[in-house]
Amino acid sequence: MPFIPNTAQQQQQMLAEIGLTMDDLFGDIPEEFRTRQFKLPPALSEQQVRNRLWELAEKNATDLICFLGGGFYDHFIPAAVHAMISRSEFYTSYTPYQPELSQGTLQAIYEYQSMICRLTDMEVANASLYDGGTALYEAMMMALRITGRNKVIIDDSVNPIYRVMMVSYTRNLRIELDQTCCRDGLANRTELLEKIDDKTAAVILQNPNFFGCIDDFSDVADAVHTKGGLLIVSCHPISLGILKTPGAMAADIVTGEGQSLGIPMSFGGPYLGFMASRKQFVRKMPGRVAGQTVDQSGRRAYVLTLQAREQHIRRAKATSNICSNEALCALTALVYLCLLGPEGLRQTAQLCADKASYAYERLTAIPGIRPHFRGKWFFNEFVLDLPSEAADVIAKLIEKGFAAGFPLSRYYDDMANSILICVTEKRTKQEIGMLAEALESVL
């Protein structure tokens, strides 16, 4: 039997030694429940399984030239990333409950937390959360705990995939989730300033936002701080290679999707939710945290710390129900950032901006195509208005070998003809030219 080493003879020997039969071992389960004939397929050999799964993998179109983003990006991943995270001492271990046997994982988490702080310009970070969406939800809950208030304002330029998740999670709770509508591609200042009051726990914004537009939220931070609330910023980690940091904007809690940091797209997961904050809020922060300490001989060592906040101690009163983190994904992001270094990350970010800008120029030169937001700075994504329904045009371009972008009508009522186009550093000038030609031909 695969993965079960004891032979039938050994099993009999062990049963004899403990004076039981196999049936005895399950005698505590009422008989009516243990007589079932399961309708499950027979076992396959490794070769059969690999062949079958290869066939299924081949049915997925991963050869389209990808201009699809929406918060999930096709970035280049150096080979050394996979080589390092494939070391089985990392991936076959569990949460580092025994620090003597887990200094590798613990130091890596500590270094990851440091990296997230350095990227975002914040003081503290946790060991990671499931994804960018649940991280944003956790940030909101954290803000409620810190302020003791229950009103949250979110701008609709925040990734709609995250916003619909927030709606699900808050349905059974006494939270007032208010939304502002972005203006000209940027968070709506007029509406925000009108809505922020002394009941506001937090304002939630994103930079670059879902449309790729770059903003500076320093003014919003001032406004919400004046009323005693917090600013939560969701951000794209690659953009922090060049963009003004949430820390410099005086954000209080920073989250984001870490998938771009060396993690393959894998049809939606596993991904990496990162979270950073200020030192004064660290005890209200959810999730695992690794801390530096010393051992009995004074040697530098790492442990899980601040566990008094967590579910296994606090149970129903914990800061969150989260039990694990996305340790292997956090390790992936750490290795990726080490390989890129400050200059590599800066160049990658700059190339995304350069290529997106080039694509924007190239595509807006096509008759009938217009930019949706005029004169705004964007990072790796931008919105164009097509002469007809974007969803149709995208479908036609799939047939020509392009995942050309995302139709915004899916989440925004008044954007039927709008397409969100993403350009990462992986796309070439030639591919952008090919997209332009294909697009022109289907209009």
- Strand ranges (DSSP E) for 258-324? 273-277, 290-294, 300-304
Contact (CB, 8 A) for 385 and 369: yes
Tokens of 431: 């591919």
Q: What is the separation of C-alpha 302 from the centre of its chain, rounded to a whole number of angstroms?
A: 26
Residue 200 bridge partners (DSSP): 151
137-156 binders of other proteins (CB under 8 A):
141
| Residue 242 structure tokens | 């060049």
Compute the least distance from the CB of residue 202 to other proteins, in Å.
Answer: 18
Strand 381-385 relative to strand 370-371: parallel, antiparallel, unpaired? antiparallel
Does residue 291 bind other proteins (CB under 8 A)?
Answer: yes
Least separation in angstroms between residue 329's CB and other proteins is: 6
Residues 380-439 that bind other proteins (CB under 8 A): 391-392, 394-395, 398-399, 403, 406-407, 410, 425, 428-430, 432
β-sheet bridge partners, residue 290: 304
Dihedral sign, Cα of residue 204, residue 212, residue 162, residue 178:
positive
**Residue 387 CB, nearest distance to other proteins (Å)?**
17
Which of residues 191, 305, 364, 400 is near other proteins by CB under 8 A? 305
User: Is residue 43 near other proteins by the rule CB under 8 A?
Assistant: yes
Q: Name the one residue in this structure whose structure tokens are 């390790």.
A: 331
Residue (24 or 194) nearer to other proteins, CB = 24
Question: How many chain residues interact with other proteins (CB under 8 A)?
Answer: 207
Q: Which of 26, 176, 280, 441 binds other proteins (CB under 8 A)?
A: 26
Order of strands, sheet of 381-385, starting from the edge strand that comes earlier in the sequence: 370-371, 381-385, 418-422, 406-407
**In degrees, to the nearest 5, what angle opens at C-alpha 203 toward C-alphas 258 and 383?**
60
Distance of alpha carbon 353 from alpha carbon 422, whole angstroms:
10
Q: C-beta of 32: minimal distance to other proteins in Å?
A: 8
Hey, what amino acid is at 111?
A: E
Binding status of residue 199 toward other proteins by CB under 8 A? no
228 binds other proteins (CB under 8 A): no
* Contact residue for other proteins among 243, 253, 261, 415 (CB under 8 A): 243
Give the CA distances from residue 419 to residues 132, 370, 393, in Å, rounded to whole numbers and listed in that order: 23, 11, 9
Tell me: does residue 70 bind other proteins (CB under 8 A). yes
Q: Taking each helix axis from N to C terminus, what angle separates 429-442 and 327-364, rounded to the nearest 10 degrees?
A: 60
**Which is closer to other proteins, CB of 78 or CB of 228?**
78
Is-contact 362 433, C-beta < 8 A? yes
Cα(309)–Cα(339) distance, rounded to whole angstroms?
34
* Of residues 254 and 290, the one with the C-beta less far from other proteins: 290
- Sole binder of other proteins in the list 350, 365, 387, 441 (CB under 8 A): 350
Of 156, 195, 227, 269, which one interacts with other proteins (CB under 8 A)?
269
Query: Which range of residues in 145-153, 190-198, 264-272, 364-372 is near other proteins by CB under 8 A?
Result: 264-272
- Shortest CB 398 distance to other proteins, Å: 6
State the minimum distance, in angstroms, from the CB of residue 278 to other proteins.
12
Give CA torsion, residues 59, 60, 65, 69, to 10 deg: 160
Stretch touching other proteins by CB under 8 A, among 72-80, 189-197, 223-231, 363-371 = 72-80
The window from 66-74, 142-150, 178-186, 190-198 that contacts other proteins (CB under 8 A) reads 66-74
Closest separation in Å from C-beta 419 to other proteins: 11
Sheet holding 124-125, edge to edge: 124-125, 273-277, 253-257, 230-235, 200-207, 151-155, 176-180
Q: How far is CA 423 from the centre of its chain?
A: 18
Footprint of other proteins on 78-137 (CB under 8 A):
78, 80, 82-84, 86-105, 107-108, 110-111, 113-119, 121, 123-125, 127-128, 130-134
The interface with other proteins within residues 309-328 (CB under 8 A) comprises 310-318, 320-328
Cβ 192 to other proteins shortest distance, Å: 19
CA-only gyration radius of the chain, Å: 25
To other proteins, the closest distance from the beta carbon of 172 in angstroms equals 4
